[in-house]
Chain A
C-alpha cells in the first residue's frame, strides 16, 4: 500500500509537466510560432555541453536559495528576506575575504563562515521581531530587504570602495586573491574543453544533505515540522515556539549566506553593483516546485536553469524569449495544482482504507 501511494506521489510532477507543456504549446501556437520547432530549438541548444555546464552553474545558487526558503516553509515561516540576507552575506564576506591573506582552505572557510554568520544574523532580526513584537515575518523580511539594499549600497559605495575623483568605475570590493577562489571541477572531470564547472556544486550537494538531515532526522527538525504542522500541538509537546522561530530564521538565513559563495568565489571574485541579485526570490519558486524536498528542489533548480539557458537561443529565431518566463509560471502553477490534487487523492485513499479496517473489525 505504501509503495503504491509513493508511486502516486511521483505522478504529480510528471502530470504537472505534461500540463505545463500542453499549455506552453497552446501559447506558442496562439502567438503564431511553431511549438514543436521552438521546443526542438530549445532542447538542442540546452543539451550542448556548454549549456549543461552553464545550467549546473546556475542551479547551484538557485538550489541553495530554495533550501533556505524551504527551511522556513517546513516550520510555516515565510522567509521572503532570503534576497537581502544573501546579498548582505556576500558583500561582507567579499570585503573581508579581500582584506586578509590566508592559506587557501582557511581563506575559503573564513569567507563561507562570515557569509553564513552575517546572513543568519540579518535573518535573526525578523525572527526576533516576530517573537518579541509580534511582527509577521512576511512584513518584516520584505522591509528588511529594502533596508538591507540600502545598507549594502551605502557600505559598498562608502566603506568598501575608495572613490577616486572622476573615476567611472562602479563601486566594488577589492578582488579576492587566488587563495580565496574555489577551483573549477573541469580538470578533475576531464572536461577542459568546456567552460568552468564551478567547484561549489559539491557545496550545494552537501547543503542538500545537511538540510535533509536537520529537517527529517534530528529532534530539532521534528520540532520544526511539528510546529509547521500544528503550532499548538508542538507547543504542548514542549517545543518553545519563540526559540524555534529565531532558530529557524537563523538556519534559513545561514543557508541563504551560501547562495553567494559560488558566484563570489567562482566567477565574480568581488562584490559589485551587478552581483547576481533576485536569487532569493527565485528560490521561493524553486522551493514551491520541489515541494521543499531536497531532491525535488534539485530537479526544480535544474529545470528552471535549463529554461533560462535554452531561452537565450530563441532571440536568434525571432521567438519572443519572454515565453520562457510564462513557461516557468505555468510550470509552477501546474505543479502546485497537481500536488494538491494528488494529496487529496492520497488522503481519500487513506480514509478509505482506515474505514475498511473499522468496518471489518
Chain B
C-alpha cells in the first residue's frame, strides 16, 4: 500500500513553545486516519504545516512519495491536499454552486460558464453519493449540508487527501451518522482522510488508524480495532483518567430560579422562544439541549436581562426580577459564563487583575462609595481565582490573550463561581478546551452545586449535558419539547428531540 503522506522529523517552534517536536507520521492511501490529542497537543500546527499555512523549522513532507515544499495552501491544493475547517468559510448570500466555484477563476469580465460547473459538480456529488442541490442558497442549508458543501468544494479542486478539522463539533448525532457514511464512501473511492478530533468514541468508530499527539510529540499510532477508549484517553493525557465523581441528585427545597411563560421575538420578527416554563432549585443543575439557533442563547440572555422579553415572569429566588437591569440581576446573585470567552467573557487586552472585576464593577465588592474601583481587592481576588481554579499564568498582571483557551476558560468560570452567586448560567462552559481544564471545570461546577448553587447549563456537548445535569430540557424551535432524566438520556435520544424527529 502506498503512503499518501509521510512526515519525517517535523519540528516547529513558536516563541517559548515547541509546538511540534520531531514528528514522524505515515498515513496510508485510502484510509481514514484520525489524529487525536488535547488542545495544545500540536494537532493544528501539524495540519497547518501539511496544508501550507505554516512552514516547518525542520523535517520533510512526502506526498505520494514525492518530497514537497509548500509556501502556501495553494501549493498544497495543487498537490491534492484539501482542508475543511471547523468554522465554515461560506457566504450566506451565495448559492451552493457559487460557493463551490468561488475563487477558482481569475477575476475577468468573461461570463461564468455555470452550467459546465454544475455538470462537473453533479458528477462529483454522484460519484461520492453526497447529494447537494447546487441552486440552494447557503443560508437555507443546515449545518450538516454546509459541511457537505465544504467537502465538495475541496474535492472539486481535485483533493485526494482530505483534512477534516473537528468535523463533528458542530453536528448533532444524526448528522454525524450521515457524515460518517459519506466519509466511508469517499474512502471506498480512494480518498485519504485525516480526521482531527478529540471525541474518542467517534474516532474509534470511523478511523482505521489513530495517531495520538501530546505536548507537541507523536506518542503512537495504533490500529483502531486494537485499542480501547480508555487506552486512547490515557495516551492523550499521559496519566490515568480522572474518574468523574458520582452523581447524586440532591436538590434543595428552595428555588434558585423560576421562569413563567417566557416569550420573546427577535429583531427580525422571528419568534426566539415561546411558552418557556421551568424552575431550578438550589443545588440543582438543569441542562438545556438544543441545536444551535433554537432559542437557547436568547433564553440565557433574557434571564441575564440583555435580551428583551415580550411577556413572562422571572424570579431569582423569591424576588421578581422582571424590571431589573442586568447589573442589578448580577448584584442579586446571578452569574453568567458566556459561550464565547474571548469576545464575551474577558477583556483580552486588560490584566487578569482587572478582568476579575468584570461583572461586579458596580457592586460594593469592588466599588467604594466614591465610585473608585478597589484595585487592591481585585488583585487579591484574582489571585484567589488563579489559585483555586489552577489558572496557569505568570501572574495576575498577565493579559488573557497570552493564555491558552483552557486557562482563559478556567479564569472565567472561576471568577463567576467565586462571586458566590445563587444562580449560574453556564453556556458552553467547556467548549474547545483540553481534558484537564474540562474535568476541573466539571468538578468545580459539581462542587458549587453541592453547596447549593443552582445552575442552568447550556451545552452542545451532549455527554457533558448528560453527565452533569440533574434534569435536561430539550429546546426545539424555541419551545421546550421534552424533559428528560439524564439517567434515561443518550446522545441519540437527545439528538432526535433536538432535530424534531421526535416530540
Chain A: residues with CB nearer than 8 A to chain B?
A: 1-2, 217-223, 225-226, 229-230, 232-240, 347-348, 350-359, 361
Q: Which of B119-127, B156-164, B200-208, B353-361 contacts A (4 or more CB under 8 A)?
A: B353-361
Bound Cα distance A347, B398 (Å): 9
Does B88 sit within 8 A of A, measured CB to CB? Answer: no
**Residue of B at shortest CB range from A348?**
B15
Q: Which residues of A contact B330 (CB under 8 A)?
A: 237-238
Question: Contact at A237–B394, with CB atoms within 8 Å?
Answer: no
Q: Does A352 lie within 8 Å of B347, measured CB to CB?
A: no
**Extra 14 A-B pairs, beta carbons < 8 Å, given A226-B350, A234-B358:** A222-B357, A226-B347, A229-B347, A229-B350, A233-B344, A233-B345, A238-B326, A238-B327, A239-B327, A351-B16, A352-B15, A352-B16, A353-B402, A354-B402
Does B275 sit within 8 A of A, measured CB to CB? no
Sampled A-B contacts (14; CB under 8 Å): A217-B373, A219-B362, A222-B373, A223-B362, A226-B347, A232-B340, A233-B347, A238-B328, A238-B330, A238-B362, A350-B402, A354-B404, A357-B394, A358-B40
**CB-defined contacts of A232 to chain B, threshold 8 Å:** 338, 340, 343-344
- Are A238 and B325 in contact (CB-based, < 8 A)? yes
Interface status of B348 (Cβ within 8 A of chain A): yes
- The residues in B between 379 and 406 inclusive whose CB is less than 8 angstroms from any CB of A are 392-395, 397-399, 401-404
B403 → A minimal CB distance (Å): 5
> Contacts A353-B16, A355-B17 known; A219 to B394 CB distance under 8 Å?
no
Mark B328-368 against chain A: 1 for CB-CB distance below 8 A, else 0: 11110000101010011111111000100111011000110
Q: Which of B394-453 contact A (CB under 8 A)?
A: 394-395, 397-399, 401-404, 407
Closest Cβ of chain B: how far from A310's Cβ, in Å?
A: 37
When distances are taken between beta carbons in the complex, the residues of chain A under 8 Å from B329 are: 238
**Chain B's nearest CB lies how many Å from the CB of A6?**
10
Contact of B350 among A2, A220, A223, A225 (CB under 8 A): A225
| Among candidates B343, B357, B394, residue contacting A354 with C-beta atoms closer than 8 Å | B394
Q: Among the listed B40, B345, B348, B362, which residue makes an inter-chain contact with A229, where contact means beta carbons less than 8 Å apart? A: B348
B301 → A minimal CB distance (Å): 8
A59-B177 Cα distance, complex, nearest whole Å: 70
A217 to B354, CA, bound (A): 11
Q: In the assembly, what is the distance between CA of A2 and CA of B362, in Å?
A: 28
Which among A217, A220, A226, A348 is the interface contact of B358 at CB below 8 angstroms? Answer: A226
A230 touches B348 (CB 8 A): yes
A222 vs B349: C-alpha distance in the bound complex, in angstroms? Answer: 13
Given A223-B361, A229-B347, do A356 and B398 touch, yes or no (CB 8 Å)?
Answer: no
Q: Which residues of A contact B325 (CB under 8 A)?
A: 238, 240
Q: How far is the CA of A352 from the CA of B349 in the complex (A)?
A: 16
For the complex, give the distance between the alpha carbons of A226 and B394 in Å.
Answer: 23
Query: In the bound complex, what is the Cα–Cα distance between A348 and B402 (angstroms)?
Result: 8
Of chain A, the residue at the smallest CB distance from B358 is: A237
Nearest 6 pairs between A and B by C-beta?
Answer: A238-B327, A352-B16, A350-B402, A229-B347, A237-B359, A354-B402
CA distance A222 to B401 in the complex (A): 19
Contact B359 A2, beta carbon cutoff 8 Å: no
Interface centre among B304, B340, B372, B392 (most CB of A within 10 A): B392
Query: Which B residues lie within 8 Å of A354 (CB)?
Result: 392-394, 398, 402-404, 407
Neighbour of A347 across the interface among B336, B401, B404, CB < 8 A: B401
Number of interface residues, chain B, beta carbon within 8 A: 48
Given that A351-B16, A356-B16 are contacting pairs, would A236 and B336 also be in contact in the complex, using a CB cutoff of 8 Å? Answer: yes
Q: Is B278 an interface residue (CB 8 A)?
A: no
> With A and B bound together, what is the CA distance between A235 and B361 in angstroms?
12
Q: Which residue of B lies closest to A229 (CB)?
A: B347
Q: Is the CB of B358 within 8 A of A233?
A: yes
Question: Closest A-chain residue to B366, C-beta based?
Answer: A219
- Which residues of B sit under 8 angstroms from A236, Cβ to Cβ? 304, 306, 326, 336, 338, 344-345, 359
Quote the shortest CB–CB distance from A218 to chain B (angstroms): 5
Given contacts A219-B362, A233-B343, A236-B306, contact A347 B402 (CB under 8 A): yes
A222 to chain B, nearest CB (A): 5
Q: For residue B404, which residues in chain A have a CB less than 8 angstroms away from its CB?
A: 354-355, 358
Cα separation A230 to B355 with both chains bound (whole Å):
12
Cross-chain contact A347 with B344 (CB below 8 angstroms): no
Alpha-carbon distance A1/B361, docked complex (angstroms) = 28
A354–B395 Cα gap in the complex (Å)?
9
In the complex, residue of chain A having the shortest beta-carbon distance to the beta carbon of B305: A238
A237 and B326 alpha carbons, distance in the complex (Å): 8
Distance in angstroms between the alpha carbons of A165 and B258 in the assembled complex: 77
Residues in chain B near residue A351, CB distance under 8 A: 15-16, 401-402
What string of 1s and 0s marks CB contacts (under 8 Å) between B445-474 and chain A? 000000000000000000000000000000
The answer to whether B344 touches A355 (Cβ under 8 A) is: no
Give A36 to B331 CA distance when docked, in angstroms.
63
Chain A's nearest CB lies how many Å from the CB of B232? 23
Residues of chain B with a CB closer than 8 A to A240's CB: 325-327
Which residues on A sit within 8 Å (CB–CB) of B304? 236
Report how far A240 CA is from B397 CA in the complex, Å.
27
- Measured between beta carbons, the chain A residues less than 8 angstroms from B15 are 348, 351-352, 355
CA distance A356 to B393 in the complex (A): 9
In angstroms, Cα B328 to Cα A219, docked, is 15
Complex CA distance for A246 and B397, rounded to whole angstroms: 31
Complex CA–CA separation, A361 to B394 (angstroms): 11
The interface residues of chain A lying within 8 Å CB-to-CB of B350 are: 225-226, 229
Contacts of B347 in A (CB 8 A): 225-226, 229-230, 233-234
C-alpha gap A247/B395 in the complex (Å): 34
Per-position binary interface string of chain B over residues 98-137, scored 1 when its CB falls under 8 Å from any chain A CB and 0 otherwise: 0000000000000000000000000000000000000000
A219 touches B373 (CB 8 A): yes
Nearest opposing residue in chain A for B336, CB measure: A236
Q: What are the interface flags for B10-24 relative to A under an 8 Å C-beta threshold, 1 for contact and 0 otherwise?
A: 000001110000000
Residues of B close to A229: CB separation below 8 A:
347-350
Q: Which of B16, B338, B348, B350 has the most CB of A within 10 A?
A: B16
Given A222-B361, A233-B358, A238-B326, is A353 in contact with B346 using a C-beta cutoff of 8 Å? no
Inter-chain CA distance A355–B403, complex, in Å, is: 8
Contact A219–B392 (Cβ < 8 Å): no
Considering only CB atoms, which chain B residue lies closest to A226 in the complex? B347
B residues less than 8 Å from A1 (CB atoms): 394-395
Whether A218 pairs with B394 at a CB distance below 8 angstroms is no
Complex Cα spacing A234 to B355, Å: 11
- How far is the CB of A292 from the nearest CB of chain B, in Å? 13
The residues in B between 14 and 40 inclusive whose CB is less than 8 angstroms from any CB of A are 15-17, 40
- Set A219, A230, A347: member contacting B346, Cβ < 8 A: A230
Instruction: Note all chain A residues with C-beta closer than 8 A to B40.
Output: 358
- Using Cβ atoms and an 8 Å threshold, which residues of chain B touch A233? 338, 343-347, 358
C-alpha gap A259/B354 in the complex (Å): 32
How distant is the Cα of A223 from the Cα of B358 in the complex, in angstroms? 9
Cα separation A352 to B403 with both chains bound (whole Å):
10
A215 to chain B, nearest CB (A): 11
Could you tell me the distance between the alpha carbons of A236 and B398 in the complex, rounded to whole angstroms? 22
Residue of A nearest to B327 (CB): A238
Contact pick for B394, options A221, A230, A347, A356, CB 8 Å = A356
Q: Who on chain B is nearest to A231 by CB?
A: B343
Contact, CB under 8 Å: B359 / A238:
yes
CA distance A2 to B372 in the complex (A): 24
In the complex, what residues of B have CB within 8 A of residue A222's CB? 354, 357, 361, 373
Across the interface, do A357 and B343 meet the contact criterion of CB distance under 8 Å?
no
Query: Is B343 a contact of A230 with CB atoms below 8 Å?
Result: yes
Q: B327 to chain A: which residues have CB within 8 Å?
A: 238-240
Complex alpha-carbon distance, A1 and B399, angstroms:
13
Query: Which of chain B's residues have a CB closer than 8 A to the CB of A226?
Result: 347, 350, 358, 361
CA–CA, A1 and B398, complex, Å: 10
Residues of A contacting B367 in the complex (Cβ-Cβ under 8 angstroms) = 219
Whether A220 pairs with B371 at a CB distance below 8 angstroms is yes
